[in-house]
Amino acid sequence: MDALLSALADPARWRLVSLLAERPRSVGVLAQLADARQPQTTKHLQILERAGVVTSRRTGQRRVYALRSAALRDLAAALQEFADTADQDGGPRATYDSYGVSLHAERLAAQEPGWADGRSFRFQRLLAGHPELIWRHLTDARLLARWWTPDDLRVSELVFEARAGGRIVHEYRDAEDADGSDAVAGRAAGIVDLVRPGERLAYRLSPQLPDGGIAFTAHVDLGLKPADGSGQGTQLDAHWRIADSTVDSADFIAGIEIGFGQSLDKLAAAIATDAHDTDHDTDHPSRTRSAK
C-alpha cells in the first residue's frame, strides 16, 4: 500500500492514471496528452507499473499501457474503511466534533473573570455493586486511576487522601504516550471537604493552566444510595459547581460534560467487572480460600 500511495502522490502520475482510466494508450500518446516529454512519461509509467497500478505490453514498435483496477479498488476499500471508522456513531470523531461545538460557545462566553461562576453540571449513574464497593473506587487512588480520566487520557500521577482536609493531585497524559515523552495533558490539585464513607464525598478541584495558574475551582459533591426497589446496585449522583473561573478556563469548562461523562462510563465498567469477580469468587469458596 505504501508503494501505491507513493506512486499516486505525484500529480503527473495521477494525470496518467486518469488518462488510462479512459482506455489503454501508448507511451507516445500519453506523453502528448499529458504535455510531457516521452522519457519522463516512461519513467512515471514504470513507477506506476511497479506499484501494480498499470500493466503494459509491446505491440510492434509501441508499448501500450492499461490500468489495473484491482489496486485502486483495494485503496478505495481501505479509504472507505477509514471513513466509516471515523464516522461511526458515538465514536471518537463524534466526541471531537461535539467538544468543538462546546469549545466555540465557551470561548465566546469567556469575556471576563468569573464568567462561569455558578455554572453547574449534574451526572447520574446506576452502578452495579454495593455502596461500599463504589466508595472504594471513588477514594482508593489505585482504583481511581482506572477511571478518573476521559477515554483518550491516562492518569500519570494521583494522590487522593480520603479525609477532610486531605490533599488531591491529579495529573494525566495522552493515553498513547506510553513513555511519558509527550507534554503533560493536564494537572489539577484540590482539597477533600467532606467524607461520609459509603454515602457522600465532597471536594474542591482546580485544574491548572499552562503557566501554573488556576483555571477555575470545581466544587464536586458525590452522593451514594442503594438503588430504589431493585435491592441491587447503587445510585451515584455527582454535582459540579464552578467558581473562581478565569477567562482562560473556557477550554477546560467546555470539556467537563463530555470528559467526566466518559470517566463515569469507565467507572461503571470497572465496577461491573469487580462486582462480577466478587460474585464469582463467592460462588467458589475453594477459590476464595486459596487466595487468602
Which CATH number characterizes residue 58's domain?
A: 1.10.10.10
Question: What DSSP designation does 9 have?
Answer: T
Range of the domain at 182: 113-283
Go through 27-50 and write b for each residue having 16 or more CB atoms within 10 A of its CB, e for each that does not: beebbeebebeeeebbebbebbee
Domain boundary among 21, 52, 78: 78
What pLDDT, in 10s, does the model give residues 36-54? 999 999 999 999 999 999 9
In this prediction, residues 163-188 reach a mean pLDDT of 93
The pLDDT value given to residue 274: 83
CA angle 79–13–52, rounded 5-degree value: 60
The pLDDT value given to residue 192: 98
The three cell numbers of residue 197 are 464513607
Angle between helices 38-50 and 11-22 (to 10 degrees): 80
Q: Is the pTM of this model over 0.85?
A: no
Q: Residue 164's domain is classified under what CATH number? A: 3.30.530.20
Is position 83 within any domain? no
Both 255 and 129 in a single domain?
A: yes
Query: Read out DSSP for 176-229?
Result: T-TTS-SPP-EEEEEEEEEEETTTEEEEEEEEBPTTS-B--EEEEEEEEEEPTT
Is position 27 within any domain? yes
Is position 227 within any domain? yes
Go through 113-144 and write b for each residue having 16 or more CB atoms within 10 A of its CB, e for each that does not: eebbeebebebebebbbbbebbbbbbbebebb
- Contact between 141 and 124 (Cβ < 8 Å): no
What pLDDT, in 10s, does the model give residues 79-92? 999 999 888 888 88
The pLDDT value given to residue 180: 84
Sign of the C-alpha dihedral, residues 157, 225, 222, 195?
negative
The SS3 of residue 96 is: helix
The pLDDT value given to residue 93: 87
- Contact between 270 and 165 (Cβ < 8 Å): no
Any alpha helices (H) in the chain, and if so which ranges? 2-8, 11-22, 27-33, 38-50, 69-86, 92-109, 131-139, 141-144, 250-254, 256-282, 285-291
Domain boundary among 26, 53, 78: 78
Both 47 and 165 in a single domain?
A: no
The pLDDT value given to residue 291: 36
Structural domain count, the chain: 2
Number of Cβ atoms within 10 Å of the Cβ of 171: 17
Q: In whole angstroms, give the CA distance from residue 130 to residue 231.
A: 10
More confident residue, 292 or 15: 15
Angle between helices 256-282 and 92-109 (to 10 degrees): 140
Both 139 and 32 in a single domain?
A: no
Both 152 and 239 in a single domain?
A: yes
Both 205 and 262 in a single domain?
A: yes
The pLDDT value given to residue 281: 54
